[in-house]
Chains A and B, each alone.
Chain A
Amino acid sequence: MSILHTVNKSPFEKNSLDECLTHSTDGCAILLLEDGVYAAMQGTNVESAVKDAMASKKVYALGPDIKLRGLSTDRIIDGIEVVDFAGFVDLSESNDKVQAWL
C-alpha cells in the first residue's frame, strides 16, 4: 500500500518533516509543498536528513511554491523531482492514500 506523504511546514519551524521521515516506509513518495519546499534546497541544516531519506524514498517538490518563495530550481538537492499542480494530482492518483503532515 503506497502512501503519498505531503509536508507543508518549514523544517526549521516545525518537526513535520522529521515526523514524516521517521514514519514513512521504503518506496513511498514524499511531496514538499508550501513552506515545506525550504527542505528541498541545497546547503541547509536539513539537507543531509533529506538526502538520507532519498536513498529509499522518492522526494518531490512543488514548483510553483519554489518560485513564489524566490528559490531556484537550480539550487534544489539533486534527485528531487520538481512537479507542477498537475503532477501533484498525478501523485495523489497513483498512490493509494495521502498522509498530510500538517
Chain B
Amino acid sequence: MSKIKKFMYVNRRAPYGTVYALESLEVVLIGAAFDQDVSLAFIGDGVYQLKSDQDSSDSDQKNFSPIYQALGDYDVSKLYVEKESLEERGLTLEELMPLTYEDEDDDWAEKDSIRVVSRDEMAELMDQQDVLFNF
C-alpha cells in the first residue's frame, strides 16, 4: 500500500455568497473514501462556514451546514479554525457549531473536531502537509 499522505483543505470563503464552501465539502467527502490523513483549515471568511444557527427558512438557498456534522463519521476529525480570523469578525468558538467525532483509539470517546489555532500555528500546519487544496 502506498504511503498515507497528509491532505489539507483550506477554506477561505463565506458560505452561500459563492459556491466555494459547498464545493469544498463535496470534494472533502469524496476524498474521505481514499483513507488519507485529512484535515480542514478555516481561515478568513471561511470561519463563517461553521457559524451555528444557519437557517434557510426565509431563503431560497439550501442550508448545507448540517453536512459539517457528518464529517466525523467519515474520519474527518481535524477542523482547524484560525483564532485571529474569528476575532477580526467578532466571533467566538462558542458561536460555532459543536462538531464532534468518536475516537477509535480512545474507546470511541466523543471528542471535539474543532481546534482553534493561531495564525502562526496554522502556517506551521500547512507546512506539514503533502497536499493542499484551496477553496
Q: Do A and B bind each other?
A: yes
Give the complex CA separation of A75 and B52 in angstroms: 14
Taken together as a complex, chains A and B put the C-alpha atoms of A68 and B63 apart, in Å, by 7
CB distance from A18 to the nearest CB of B (A): 15
**With the chains together, A45 CA to B61 CA distance in Å?**
28
**Which of B4-62 touch A at CB < 8 Å?**
13-18, 44-45, 48, 51-59, 61
Query: Which residue of chain A has its CB nearest to the CB of B57?
Result: A67
Partner of B59, one of A41, A43, A64: A64
Of the candidate stretches A5-13, A51-59, A89-97, the one touching chain B is A5-13
- Known: A12-B44, A45-B88. Is A34-B55 also a contact (CB below 8 A)? no
Secondary structure type dominating chain B contacts: loop
Interface size class of B (residues with CB under 8 A): 20 to 34
Instruction: Give A65's nearest chain B residue, CB to CB.
Output: B59
Kindly identify which residue among B13, B16, B88, B90 contacts A69, using a CB–CB cutoff of 8 Å.
B16
Interface centre among A8, A10, A45 (most CB of B within 10 A): A10
Q: In residues 49-87 of chain B, which contact A (Cβ within 8 Å)?
A: 51-59, 61, 63, 65
Closest 4 CB pairs of A and B: A43-B90, A35-B17, A70-B51, A64-B58
**Residues of chain B having any CB pair with chain A under 8 Å:** 13-18, 44-45, 48, 51-59, 61, 63, 65, 88-91
